[in-house]
Structure 1
């Protein structure tokens, strides 16, 4: 029988690494490329915008509109990706804290059991004077 048959196992370190790596990839690739592309296209004059042809002018306007939609989509992807990366790290931290709390709870329970056992050992039979 599989060790996972009663649930699932989470590796908090792997989850945290995923979050960090994912955020790095967003920053290093998608975000920087979006900014670079935005700078390239925002600094250049829009091709066809100065033409007398209404069709070419409309195509240039449509192209610019689609380009802005693309940047909005990239912004949304970056935002949602950052949410996913932070959520992965938060979940990893929550699992680590849950493990730490569980460990503390176990130690606390053992300590209470020890105290109760020690207290029980102090109870003596009044006749024999021996621990009951």
Structure 2
């Protein structure tokens, strides 16, 4: 899991829960967006899928961290990157939501980018 800001605490709980279920998952908490930690992220990617959870979105491009990570890995890693946009408008994103995102990726049911907690413009 890759996230920044307030998502970090919930993501930490999600990682503990998933590891307890026998799922091998880790957490990267980005503390500074600029300069973007390209070298560090390329080193940990190593072909593993990366799941980015963004609270903000740039229409037509995806979440900010997702876009930067895809750009940083381009030509340096074959790791697939999945972007989830969640928590817009103050909607809570729980550790169980984050665990469900990871399981979607593992089960091959996740799109490259997708919205979490929204259905046809309506908040679930």
Q: Tell whether the structures are fold-level matches, with TM greater than 0.5.
A: no
TM-score (norm 2): 0.18
Q: TM-score, normalised on structure 1?
A: 0.18
